[in-house]
Structures are given as structure tokens and as C-alpha cells.
Structure 1
Amino acid sequence: MGRLILVTGGARSGKSSFAERYAAKYGRKIAYIATSQVLDEEMRFRVGLHRSRRPADWDTYEAPFDAHEAVREAAAGHDMLLFDCLTVYISNLLCGLEDIEDSDRNYALVKRACDSLVAAVQAGSATLVAVTNEVGDGIVPMNRLAREFRDLSGLANQLLAKHAEEVYLVTAGIPVNIRQLEYKL
């Protein structure tokens, strides 16, 4: 059964670079599961930064949708998978909807996507390091899409954390394994 490691933190906290170092340290054959879509120059710049940090021998799988399929495929030939990132994946799913008015449907969509990711990891033998943003620490957003995204990202983080052996919170480039600090009721 595969292992799940979750790495969370705020924007520009150092979570992706920590996840990359983690994957490089513990993996022998590494696959990068990329969820972003390059739709503008700013995103092209961000993707370029990530690509420039990755070793040339890492295999990349583009997975803006149906990421669980990329995880299954990559797990067949790799021992370490770096999934970057869950919140961009959730954004892709929400922005792919005709409308976001049905919160129950949106919740079910995100839950199904997370359950599929977890099942794909558990079906293989690879370790998946999933990067995600901690988006709930700010003010309540003014518009519906932003609130739905914040709420569903928090849900997705909880769903993956529930199955993760290790959960790291990265702040100012410093990772802390919060699973070790977890208070158990």
C-alpha cells in the first residue's frame, strides 16, 4: 500500500521546495504530477520556476483534471510522486463547472476527487507527497467563488490529512511535522 505525505502552508511559504527536497531525499525514481494549466504569462513564469528546480530525470505528468489517473499511471513506474498542488487542482475542478451555485454538488465533486486520489495512492506502492495551500487563515472573501474555493480547499486538505502518515506545515521555509504534534481525543 502506498504512503501519503501532505505538505501545507501559505503562499510562498516554501512548501513546494520542501516537498521537492523531501521527494529527492527519499525517492529513487520520481514523478512530478503537475496540476496547473498555463493560461497566461504569469502562470508560465510560475511553472518555469518549478521546472527549473526539478532534476532532469524526474518524469512529469500533466494532470489538471482526473489527477487520480495520473497518480495510478505514475505509481506503476516510480517509488515517489510529487503532487503539486491540491489547491490548484480544486480550482481547476471548480472553474470547469458551468456554475458554482450548487454547494452540495461542489462538495460531492471535491470529496470524490480526494477519495479517488487517496484510493490511487493506496492501490500502489509509491509514496505521494501532496502539496496544498492553507487558505483559511485570512478574511472571509467577498465573492461566492472565492468563498466556495476556500471552503472546499479546507475540506480537501482535511480529507487528505486524514489519510496522511506525515503532515508538514511550512512557514517561512521551515517545515514542522504537525502530525507529530497532533492532539488525539
Structure 2
Amino acid sequence: MPSLFVIGGARSGKSRYAQERAETTGLSPMFIATAQAYDDEMRERIARHQADRGPEWQTVEAPLDLAQTIKAHGAPDRVVLVDCLTLWVSNLMLAERDIAAATGDLAEALGGAKGPVILVANEVGLGIVPDNALARRFRDAAGIVNQKVAALADEVQFLAAGLPLTLKQNR
């Protein structure tokens, strides 16, 4: 099934673009959220995103078990939108999970998806080299996940200032 990977910087328009693409499929939309609300500001962000999606969207939270959630909720008549892989990587690190194994599971789930899947991630490698080991480890892990997902995806769009740039298009 076709997959779309939407990547870009913070506030680049990734989520809005991914949502619009999902809504144009005409399929039943399923949102898989990886965010966890640890503070009031994050709870407000999550609430805004939920309000932007509208009532036709079903939402499932999957801060860690993303591959299993994609397998469980994918269907030929449903488009699945995962937002976002960057938070998922952060969650895996905080939970001390094996990121390589989880990424392998994600790749398997995408390869066997029963319907279209749209994944969103931040491009974290465009800035300076972080000044501490944890931040460098995070940047490296997120970059590797992004590379693997981009290689698997049928289409990759890079967003900057709300504008998409096609990086890959398999037809």
C-alpha cells in the first residue's frame, strides 16, 4: 500500500500538510499519536491538534508500540496518519527501549500495511552538532529512523515554511 513520509523542521507545516493529504484520500482517517502530555503546555498543543482534525478522525495513542498499533488499525478503507516519529524516538529513549529493534518492527509494519500510511517526523540534522552526548544520541537515532522510513516510503515530502518539496515519488 502507498506510504507518504512528511519531514521538515519545527513549525514547518508538516502536520497540517499530512492531515490535508490524508483527508484527500476519501478514506476513513485514523490518527496515531505518539505524543505524551507531561505538562500543561503539551496538553494544550495536543488539544489544539485534536480540534484541528475534526470529529471524523479516530485517534489512538501509541507512544511506544507504534508498529503493533499500525498493524492493528490499518485497513484498506482507512488512511493511517502517524504524528510523529521524532517524539516516538524520544519516548523509546526515555523508556530505554531498543530503537533499532523498534525501527525494524516499524519497517515490517509499513511493509505489510493494509492501507495507506502517512508518517510525520522532524528533520533534526540541519542544525549544529549538539553539545552533549544525550542530544547527539537523540539526533543520531532520529536521523537513522528518518533515513529508514524515507527509504521505505513511496513518497517523501520535505516541508519548509509551509511549502512541500518532493524528495521522492514512486509511481
| TM-score (normalizing by structure 1) | 0.87
Secondary structure of the residue aligned to 2:24 is helix
The answer to whether the 8 A contact 1:80-1:128 is kept is yes
Partner of 1:49: 48
Structure 1, 60-69 or 74-83: larger mean CA deviation: 74-83
2:99 maps to a residue whose letter is V
CA offset digits 1:91-125 (Å, max 9, x no partner): 0000112xxxxxxxx7xx22222221221122232
Of 163, 170, 178, the match for 2:159: 170
1:59–1:78 Cα change, 3 Å? farther
1:101-140 to 2 correspondence within 5 Å?
A: 109-140=98-129
Unmatched segments (≥5 aa) in structure 2: none
Q: In angstroms, what is the RMSD of aligned CA positions?
A: 1.4
Partner of 2:7: 8
Secondary structure of the residue aligned to 1:178 is strand
1:35 maps to a residue whose letter is T
| TM-score (normalizing by structure 2) | 0.93
For residue 78 of structure 1, report the CA deviation from its aligned partner.
4.7
For residue 3 of structure 1, report the CA deviation from its aligned partner.
2.4
Task: Supply the distance in 1 between the matched residues of 2:81 and 2:167 (Cα, whole angstroms).
Answer: 19
Unmatched segments (≥5 aa) in structure 1: 98-105, 181-185
Partner of 1:153: 142
For residue 27 of structure 1, report the CA deviation from its aligned partner.
4.0
For residue 177 of structure 1, report the CA deviation from its aligned partner.
1.2
For residue 83 of structure 1, report the CA deviation from its aligned partner.
0.2
Task: Supply the distance in 2 between the matched residues of 1:153 and 1:27 (Cα, whole angstroms).
Answer: 31
The answer to whether the 8 A contact 2:150-2:156 is kept is yes
For residue 74 of structure 1, report the CA deviation from its aligned partner.
1.0
1:148 maps to a residue whose letter is R
1:147 maps to a residue whose letter is R
**Paired positions, count:** 169
Partner of 1:34: 33
Secondary structure of the residue aligned to 1:26 is coil
2:116 maps to a residue whose letter is T
Partner of 1:92: 91
1:17–1:72 Cα change, 3 Å? same
For residue 47 of structure 1, report the CA deviation from its aligned partner.
0.7
CA offset digits 1:52-74 (Å, max 9, x no partner): 11021111110001111111111
Partner of 2:65: 66
The answer to whether the 8 A contact 2:76-2:116 is kept is no
